[in-house]
């Protein structure tokens, strides 16, 4: 193949699909420099990736080797789905404001266009699907061409697209909500697992909202995660090989993963401290 390779990976659950995608990337990705490299950094492993999770809520949902802890994972879900850090987004009209360029929640649930009121794209998406489940128009975007072409930290997630179809097995069960997400850039090792976990939670919330609006049960269908650049930074390759690949060689899949149901109470118990932490984040604090 000429150019950046196009790779595919899949799995029955989030943990297996993410692991399979990383293994495939390390095996077949190309070597590419990045805009963030230091002079001594090796090239990153990079590819365009199409990753499918066949049953997004299947256990085990959590991979033990994602770089983070259970509280950090809960915090990220709340950031994406509940907007607990939307107040950290900078005022684009104030050049002295050094807060974040965006949060995904703010872009999806309160998309701001000059001269128009903020747009709740997720609510619009849900209402479209409640009216016409098979519509191809139910999507939400993040990119703001008038801002993101020139900012230093543009949004990586680009779009969320959903569609509802009948169960192809024809057993009379409730229809399935499938979701596609597209990233222009996705740190495969340090960020993709948390991205996937939080976006599957968003998929679940969308399904529940559509059910509320339509009065009809909606189940979760497959989740498809597409990244134009799915990469492991060269500066992280030694850690990836030692930690992640080392675990794959030495431990079983069951030992490398954990059921979300087994840590749900622990993660939920962290909510008050996470909310307090988010409230304390204010003007002048840059994006980590």
Q: What is the pLDDT of residues 125-181, one digit of tens each?
A: 999 999 999 999 999 999 999 989 988 889 999 999 999 998 777 677 899 999 999
Provide the pLDDT confidence category of residue 39 given band limits of 50, 70 and 90.
confident
d(CA 112, CA 142): 10
Please check the confidence at residue 240 and state whether its pLDDT lies above 90.
Answer: yes
**Mean pLDDT along residues 34-58:** 93
Question: In angstroms, how far is CA 39 from the centroid of its own chain?
Answer: 30
d(CA 41, CA 184): 22
Which among 165, 191, 190, 167 is positioned nearest to 180, based on CA atoms?
165
Residue 197: left (phi > 0), alpha (psi -120 to 50), or beta?
alpha
pLDDT above 90 covers a percentage of the chain that reads: 83
Please check the confidence at residue 251 and state whether its pLDDT lies above 70.
Answer: yes
Which SS3 state, helix, strand or coil, does residue 227 take?
Answer: strand
What mean pLDDT is reported for the chain?
A: 94
Tokens, residue 73: 């994972």
The secondary structure element, H or E, covering residue 266 is: helix 260-269
Q: What is the pLDDT of residues 177-201, one digit of tens each?
A: 999 999 999 999 999 999 999 999 9
**How distant, in Å, are the alpha carbons of 96, 120, 145, 155, 218 from that of 151?**
14, 23, 10, 10, 39
pLDDT above 70 covers a percentage of the chain that reads: 97
Range 6-37+45-55+64-274 has CATH code 3.30.572.10: yes
Tally Cβ neighbours within 10 Å of residue 102: 23
**Mean pLDDT along residues 42-48:** 95
Predicted local confidence at residue 1, as pLDDT: 62
Please check the confidence at residue 288 and state whether its pLDDT lies above 80.
Answer: no
Q: Where are the domains of the chain?
A: 6-37+45-55+64-274
Please check the confidence at residue 104 and state whether its pLDDT lies above 60.
Answer: yes
- By CB atoms closer than 10 A (0-12, 13-18, 19+), residue 79 is buried
- pTM (2 decimals)? 0.94
């Amino acid at each position: 193949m000429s150019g950046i390779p196009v790779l595919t990976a899949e799995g029955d659950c989030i943990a297996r699909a993410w692991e399979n995608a990383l293994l495939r990337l390390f095996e077949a990705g190309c070597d590419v420099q990045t805009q963030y490299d230091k002079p001594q950094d090796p090239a990153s492993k990079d590819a365009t990736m199409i990753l499918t999770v066949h049953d997004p809520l299947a256990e085990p949902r959590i991979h033990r080797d994602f770089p983070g802890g259970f509280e950090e994972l809960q915090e990220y879900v709340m950031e994406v789905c509940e907007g607990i850090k939307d107040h950290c987004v900078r005022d684009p009209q104030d050049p002295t404001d050094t807060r974040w360029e965006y949060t995904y929640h703010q872009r999806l649930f309160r998309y701001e266009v000059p001269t128009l009121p903020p747009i709740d794209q997720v609510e619009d998406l849900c209402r479209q699907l409640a009216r016409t489940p098979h519509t191809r128009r139910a999507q939400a975007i993040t990119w703001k061409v008038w801002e993101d072409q020139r900012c230093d930290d543009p949004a990586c997630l680009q779009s969320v697209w959903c569609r509802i179809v009948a169960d192809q097995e024809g057993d009379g069960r409730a229809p399935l909500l499938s979701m596609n997400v597209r990233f222009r850039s996705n740190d495969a090792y340090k960020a993709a697992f948390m991205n996937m976990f939080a976006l599957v939670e968003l998929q679940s919330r969308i399904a529940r909202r559509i059910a509320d609006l339509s009065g009809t049960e909606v189940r979760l269908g497959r989740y498809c995660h597409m990244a134009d650049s799915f990469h492991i930074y060269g500066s992280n390759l030694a850690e990836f090989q030692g930690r992640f690949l080392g675990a794959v060689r030495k431990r079983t899949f069951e030992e490398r993963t954990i059921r979300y149901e087994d840590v749900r109470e622990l993660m939920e118990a962290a909510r008050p401290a996470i909310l307090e932490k988010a409230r304390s984040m204010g003007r002048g604090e840059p994006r980590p």
